[in-house]
Amino acid sequence: MSAAEKFPSLPNGARIAVLVTVMFESFSEGKAPPYSPMTTALKPGTRDLLGISWARYGGKTGIWRIMRVLDDFAVRGTVCVSGKAAEDFPEATKALHEKGHELACHSYTQDLILPYLEPNEERDVIRRCGRILQNITGAKPAGWFSPVAAPTEDTAEFVAAEGFIWHGDYNDADLPYVLQTPKGPLVAIAHSDFTDNRVLRGSPRDFYQVYKDTFDFLYRGESPAVINLTVHAHFGGRPMMSAMLAEILRYMTGFSGVWFARHDEIARLVFPPS
């Protein structure tokens, strides 16, 4: 039996599920992302003020534009939030929750990479991030996605132990599936193959074309199907990339049988609560 034959039918006879995923990230004080659109890197150990400013665009400006774009198409997505981003930008975090977007845990900062931590440190950061989001929004988060999609052998168990229902650090299947852990089941959801930062030094139009072509291929030939459409608030929230996000959503919403699902919604479809 193929994976598609095992996968449950999508609601209302939909042919394809589109998961709009927004990465709302922060880095440690004085740290910048290891990538940027700049073509000249500073010497190692140099404080990169432009890189820090570039990353903070996500909370100050980008996330608000992405919210407006999603509102325009009545799409509710999943926002993977660094704990520090939630602390630094609580108004944006609350607004996302109030608009009906799912908020998922995305470590405390993006330079806090799980395989570099001891197991007790990893468990503590997973627990800490969940508490931060719950304290700000009043809602317990349902999912976890690790920085750079890098889990450890313990991550799934720690995530399940915190009562989360989905885990996003997987790329071995197109369709979400149930993963058994010593602390209970999780729904494994594949990460995006082509996020917005793939075009940092290229054409934003490539982002649109990749997702249009993928959507057309799956819509015509495979059902049920799932697409994870991912942007970062500090890059995808800039006009040149938000324009492409709006264009691809305009294209996809023009078809019948498309379900724009949050990660928690598709997780509960794959593994319904008892």
Looking at residue 228, its pLDDT comes to 98
Short-list 122, 126, 145, 130, CA closest to 232: 145
Is 156 in contact with 179 (CB distance < 8 Å)? yes
Entry pTM: 0.96
Q: Which domains does the chain have, with CATH numbers?
A: 3-30+47-270 (3.20.20.370)
The CB density around residue 157, as the number of other CB atoms within 10 Å, is: 16
The CB density around residue 40, as the number of other CB atoms within 10 Å, is: 4
| Exposure string for 8-28, b = 16+ CB within 10 A, e = fewer | eebeeebbbbbbbbbbbbbbe
Rounded to whole angstroms, the Cα distance separating 198 from 219 reads: 24
Is 155 in contact with 122 (CB distance < 8 Å)? yes
Q: Is 190 helix (H, G, I), strand (E, B) or coil?
A: strand
39, with CB counted inside 10 A (0-12, 13-18, 19+), is exposed
Inter-helix orientation angle 90-98/63-72, to 10°? 10
Looking at residue 257, its pLDDT comes to 98
Q: Is 171 helix (H, G, I), strand (E, B) or coil?
A: coil
Rounded to whole angstroms, the Cα distance separating 106 from 146 reads: 6
Looking at residue 22, its pLDDT comes to 98
Tens digit of each residue's pLDDT (9 = 90 or more) over 162-177:
999 999 999 999 999 9
Q: Is 233 helix (H, G, I), strand (E, B) or coil?
A: helix
Q: Is the peptide bond before 224 cis (omega within 30 degrees of 0)?
A: yes
Tens digit of each residue's pLDDT (9 = 90 or more) over 101-154:
999 999 999 999 999 999 999 999 999 999 999 999 999 999 999 999 999 999
Rounded to whole angstroms, the Cα distance separating 172 from 190 reads: 7
Residues of the chain with pLDDT under 50: none
Looking at residue 216, its pLDDT comes to 98
- Outline where 73-203 has alpha helix (H): 83-88, 90-98, 119-137, 155-161
Short-list 262, 234, 27, 271, CA closest to 139: 262
Is 144 in contact with 172 (CB distance < 8 Å)? no
Rounded to whole angstroms, the Cα distance separating 130 from 135 reads: 9
DSSP 8-class letter at 58: I
Short-list 79, 69, 22, CA closest to 196: 22
Looking at residue 6, its pLDDT comes to 81
